[in-house]
Structure 1
Amino acid sequence: MNSIDWDGFRYFIAAAETGSLSAAAKLLDSNQPTIGRQIDALEAALEIKLFQRHAKGLTLTQEGAYILQQSQSMRSLVVKATRTMQEKKEDISGSVKIAIPEGLCIEILLPELSKFYQQHPSINLILNVSPNTANLTSGEADIAIRLFRPDNANLVVTHIGDMEMGLYASKSYSQAHDRIDKLSDLKHHAVILYGDTLSALPENQWLEKQISASRCILRSDNTTTRLKATKLGLGISIQPQLFSIRNNDLQRLIKDAVIPGHEIWLVYHQDLRNTQRVRAVVTFIHSTLRAFL
């Protein structure tokens, strides 16, 4: 056991959870040969085969599945021990990792950060705006804003409010095109939809039913892209109502349209409940988002 490089387990877990060396390399900001060497060394030290390698990626062996379970438990213990030690620090300082949807980050959170830093200049925020759901148990984030209610018993979950959605166009678009008084009018207008990854979301499905497919001029999973395209007058899109507060050039259309919305949940691991810097960030995020709902 003395010959085992414990860092090899980190590479092994990443490869097992992502299913390939290339995906693990991307997750760990490494490269495929390094991941492969680390796993080969771990297999040699343990004297077992962890993976079956094939063209489509990696498949755990029976022994590999057992080692993965134990490795994940070890990772959770390390994360918990780190958090426990951090709680012992009395000063409100250090890093806090936040996983938050891109639109809420750029349109709502970022413009308010100067106020936060005036109160807490020693806290360093790390913003993760990836569309992937961050794993709070493994330490990928300390705090997350999610548009669904998590069911993990180890998480502290708070419902911030409901995010109402609306139909929006820029003032320039409205001035240059026919009036939109009812839903059937949408069939005659250019529309911006979600991309393939988000196309199944209820609000996008609702909009697709209202429009003529030939009038869809742009699809994107990127929230900022859709908002920017709308502000530039390219077409009509669905946007969270709270975005219009900071974007005065947006006009809401057909205000009585009933569009599926989202719940906003603030989430953090229960191990961080008494960590002062996390509590400070939680309070700030909660009050900031509530003010716009």
Structure 2
Amino acid sequence: MDWDKLRIFHAVADAGSLTHAGDVLHLSQSAVSRQIRALEDSLNATLFHRHARGLILTEQGELLFDATKSMTKRLDAASARIRDSEEEVFGELKVTTTIGFGTLWLAPRLKKLYEKYPDLNIDLMLEEKVLDLPMREADVAIRMKEPSQADLIRKRLMSVRMRLYTTQDHLNRHGPVNELRDLKNHRLICQNINSEQVGAGASFVQSLLGEGGQSLLYVNNYFGVLQAVLHDLGVGVLPDYVIQDFPELIRVLPEIESAEVPVFLAYPEELRQSKRISAFRDFVQEEIISHRKQLAKKGNP
């Protein structure tokens, strides 16, 4: 099968338009159309339904597009390995992690990484969905549970616990929280137990909701929970790593917390020798050590 025709087919399927694919490939629409017809003839199959609003893949086209997507990701992986210098760190690094960890812990620290490696470009993808690292949806992941995908190198970075935090202004207006039943006098800010999150966090919230009676504010990520707490809306369920960067938060009911949540860094086996991966991994580990030291100085376990 002709590689050039497959490349053009992939661009057309991705764009859904001969014109847009031609713009990407720097080819005329007629040239793209001829290549697609030639590929269909060689396969004796129709790959696209032609409509006034664009092109839609046929069943056979979907099968071929799945194959070209896999090929493209594998080629990207090979290209990334080839580009990695033995002595320099440069190029794009796709990093995926949760919205909470990415916005509250990782992103504020990336300045140090850029200062050390100015030619490194981070594509930070924040979402709760677990991306497929072997298929190159991302290069490296930081997740709140051990990755289950095969062919991954994984390293446990630290542990996190969900705890209860609020502000002094909120306590001044609504009273102290000395016992679990006192939460009924305060709005509880947390993720919905049915939302996509780690099991320990959901179980902790469920135990708090078991008390009943309190006003609730659900937010689908910890960044939103934090903003609500900082604006004196109530008592929030937050991961303990926020303490260093937000000293105005006050922990309440210190005897109550979630089960331990392990934090893992993972990347594909094929990127073992990547200098970009090594630089990012070492940076994260150094920042975690610094984070722990800062918390120890302040007396926070």
TM-score for both structures, normalised by structure 2: 0.74
Quickly say closer, same or farther: Cα 1:288–1:255, change in 2 above 3 A: same
Counterpart of 2:22 in structure 1 is: none
Counterpart of 1:18 in structure 2 is: none
- What do residues 50-92 of structure 1 show as CA deviations (whole Å, max 9, x unaligned)? 699xxxxx9984x567546643542343133212312356422
SS in 1 for 2:115: helix
Amino acid in the other structure paired with 2:161 = E
Measure, in 2, the Cα distance between the counterparts of 1:170 and 1:82.
50
Aligned residue pairs total 268
Quickly say closer, same or farther: Cα 1:126–1:221, change in 2 above 3 A: same
Alpha-carbon shift at residue 267 of structure 1 (Å): 0.9
Counterpart of 1:225 in structure 2 is: 224
Quickly say closer, same or farther: Cα 1:48–1:291, change in 2 above 3 A: farther
Q: Contact conserved, 2:184 with 2:213, CA < 8 A, in 1?
A: no
The within-5 A match list for 1:270-281 is 270-281=269-280
Counterpart of 1:30 in structure 2 is: none
Counterpart of 1:204 in structure 2 is: 202
Measure, in 1, the Cα distance between the counterparts of 2:175 and 2:57.
57
Quickly say closer, same or farther: Cα 1:142–1:234, change in 2 above 3 A: same
Alignment of 1:124 onto 2:116: no
Amino acid in the other structure paired with 1:197 = S
SS in 1 for 2:243: helix
Q: Which has the larger radius of gyration?
A: 2
SS in 1 for 2:127: coil
Alignment of 1:139 onto 2:122: no
The root-mean-square deviation of aligned C-alpha atoms, in Å, is 3.5
Counterpart of 1:107 in structure 2 is: 104
Q: Identity of aligned pairs, percent?
A: 22
Quickly say closer, same or farther: Cα 1:51–1:236, change in 2 above 3 A: farther
Measure, in 1, the Cα distance between the counterparts of 2:172 and 2:219.
25
Counterpart of 1:71 in structure 2 is: 68
Structure 2: segments with no counterpart, 5+ residues: 17-31, 50-55, 293-301
Measure, in 2, the Cα distance between the counterparts of 1:117 and 1:189.
42
Measure, in 1, the Cα distance between the counterparts of 2:181 and 2:57.
51
- What do residues 254-285 of structure 1 show as CA deviations (whole Å, max 9, x unaligned)? 11114234211001122222122221111101
- What do residues 114-170 of structure 1 show as CA deviations (whole Å, max 9, x unaligned)? 322332222222211133222222323221111111122321100111111101111
SS in 1 for 2:124: strand
Q: Contact conserved, 2:84 with 2:90, CA < 8 A, in 1?
A: no
TM-score for both structures, normalised by structure 1: 0.76
Measure, in 1, the Cα distance between the counterparts of 2:12 and 2:188.
44
Quickly say closer, same or farther: Cα 1:240–1:51, change in 2 above 3 A: farther
The within-5 A match list for 1:36-47 is 44=40, 46-47=43-44
SS in 2 for 1:6: helix
